[in-house]
Structure 1
Amino acid sequence: MEVKTISASDTWQIRHEVMWPDQPFEFVKLEEDNLGIHFGVFEEDKLVSIVSCFMEEKEMQFRKLATLEDYQGKGIASHLLKYILEFAKEKGVEKVWCNARTNKKSFYEKFGMIDTFKSFVKSGQEFTIMEILIT
């Protein structure tokens, strides 16, 4: 399992396939993608998990954490999340946050992320904002 920096366009296929398969492909492209740092996990040279990070001053938001279905449940997303939390710490980030799908909240809590109880719905999907302070 190897984590590498990838281009925004490298994330789109997995975003679409895993997160929004019922939406048009263009739906997964973010306006701010060119401002982000994108990471991918490779298994035997195959991109299997992705995340996009956006830093602003001392905060970092991560978005679109997704793992191909055949590779889920193997600790890959956990490895990637630990990687970006360490990356944030190295960059002097003080807070990391994400818009988590409500049904995935317990996954983020395992890493010390706390539900802010600020929630919203996007395209029929419920989200809550989760955050962690980096020390």
Structure 2
Amino acid sequence: MLHIVKAKLDDLQWINSQYEKADFVPSHLDNEEIGIAYFNGQKAGLGRLVKVDENTFEMGGIYTLEDYRGKKIADSIVAFLIKEARKLQIQNVYCIPFEHLKPFYSKHGFQEVVDLAAVPKLVIDKYNWCLEQYDIKTLLMKL
């Protein structure tokens, strides 16, 4: 059975150990909403919404542990985070996925951003960092 819960401070060490494995930026929880997926009672994946400003969050850090891949865990995490963003009445939710993940995020309602003028500087800065950091092409998408 799969369920997603909001992370608590006690989860932070585990969260950051997973993000370290994936070479992702660590979490701090002070400006984030993090969902942890449990599959048959075991931690199986996670993802986060990072607050950019009062109206904007960036979704990222979607990571499924190797033993649980192929079980739709990332789908459930993204759906949970979208639901959390809606509960918080966040107007803008961006994500910066690798290009091959475009169909995955598109099915959740994300669309590729073509006009960067309206995108907050912090999101643009992270997008540019990703373009430089990773060998795989990244996209900027918005819900």
TM-score, normalized by length of structure 2?
0.74
- Identify the residue that residue 4 of structure 2 maps to in structure 1: 3
1:94 positional shift = 1.1
Whole-Å separation in 2 of the counterparts to 1:121 and 1:101: 13
- Identify the residue that residue 16 of structure 2 maps to in structure 1: 12
Is the 8 Å Cα contact of residues 8 and 34 (structure 1) preserved in structure 2? no
Structure 1 residues not aligned, in runs of 5+: 21-26
Structure with a larger share of its residues in strand: 1
Is the 8 Å Cα contact of residues 20 and 26 (structure 2) preserved in structure 1? no
Structure 2 residues not aligned, in runs of 5+: 117-126
Is the 8 Å Cα contact of residues 48 and 81 (structure 2) preserved in structure 1? no
Whole-Å separation in 1 of the counterparts to 2:107 and 2:74: 12
- Identify the residue that residue 91 of structure 1 maps to in structure 2: 88
Over the aligned positions, Cα root-mean-square deviation in angstroms equals 2.1
Aligned length: 124
Moved over 3 A (4+): none
- Identify the residue that residue 127 of structure 1 maps to in structure 2: 138
Match for 2:99 among 97, 102, 108?
Answer: 102
Could you say what secondary structure the match of 1:86 adopts?
Answer: helix
1:113 positional shift = 0.5
TM-score, normalized by length of structure 1?
0.78
Change in Cα spacing, 1:111 to 1:10, as seen in structure 2 (3 Å) is same
Matches within 5 A, 1:1-135: 1-6=2-7, 7-17=11-21, 19-20=22-23, 28-29=25-26, 34-55=30-51, 56-117=53-114, 120-132=131-143
1:55-88 alpha-carbon deviations (Å, 9 max, x no partner): 2211111121110122122111111111111111
